[in-house]
Structure 1
Amino acid sequence: MNDELKKKLEKLKNINKAKNKNEERENNILLKECIEALHNDGIILDNEEEVLVYNDFKKILIFTPWGIDWEEGKKIKNIKHIQFESELKEICSKDIYYIIWGKGLPIIRCGLNSIINHLDDIKAVEADTWLFSTDYNEIIEFHHEGRITCGQIVF
């Protein structure tokens, strides 16, 4: 296969991948409801920014098969386990966070107050949900088993 044909094939693959991604998002009812609930408070990142934030998120933190590796001092300090979502306001020091689910779902930039007000809609989209501060200094994990863990990222 010559180089020109390879480039065309790669371009078609990327177009197909983007189309499938968009269709998957459009058919995700819980995602649609979440976006509607956030209304104008949440901004869906464009594809380029989404890729950058997601790659940084995966590069900065250490992940295990079951979620973030919360071992104190490795990548995170001042780790707090909270029982009630209402405690977030007291613990979080940032105003704006990225809402991150799994790969393939959009990343939304949103204010903490709106996140707290619509947390049930946000967590319904996927079993594991993360709030990643826009300055990359704080992480909050809503684990699929119900745990809520917060911490400051160590650089």
Structure 2
Amino acid sequence: MTLYEECLEALGEGVEILSKKDSEEIFEWFESNFFISYGRIDWEKSKGLTLINSLEELPKCIQNEMVFILWDEADTPVLKANFRTVLDVIDDVTAVSFDTWLVGRDSGYVVEYHHEGDITIAILDL
């Protein structure tokens, strides 16, 4: 079983695997709202963001919505799952590839899990 398959199993029945077209659309939104440099978000060049210190600072409505899971491996399909469920199995999610992003497109936020251990959270100033 691959790490991706283990991630799917850990996320359970509520997870959705996006098509290639839908995955590309999510990546386009992500790249149009966040400046990506060397496989991570360049927070200084990404404008219109409010950085926050912890996941607990995200509004409760965000913590219960669906989130897109993106990895730095472009061939890996994007997943859509409940944010709270993703956090419950985050080790399985981040094991899939070096860098992982949780993207709440509707609410305009991102959580970046960088392979060096950094976790950065930002909300777009909409």
Q: TM-score, normalised by structure 2?
A: 0.85
More helix by share: 1
Q: Is the 8 A contact 1:132 1:138 kept in 2?
A: yes
1:44 aligns with 2:17: yes
How far off its partner does 1:41 sit?
A: 2.1
Corresponding position of 1:92: 58
Q: Which runs of 5+ in 2 are unaligned?
A: none
Q: Is the 8 A contact 1:97 1:131 kept in 2?
A: yes
Aligned residue pair count = 121
Distance 2:67 2:57 in 1: 14
1:110 aligns with 2:76: no
Corresponding position of 1:12: none
List structure 1 runs of 4+ shifted beyond 3 angstroms: none
Higher relative contact order (CA 8 A, sep 6+): 2
Distance 1:91 1:106 in 2: 29
How far off its partner does 1:70 sit?
A: 1.1
> Alignment identity in percent?
29
Give the one of 74, 95, 101 matched to 2:71: 101
Q: TM-score, normalised by structure 1?
A: 0.71
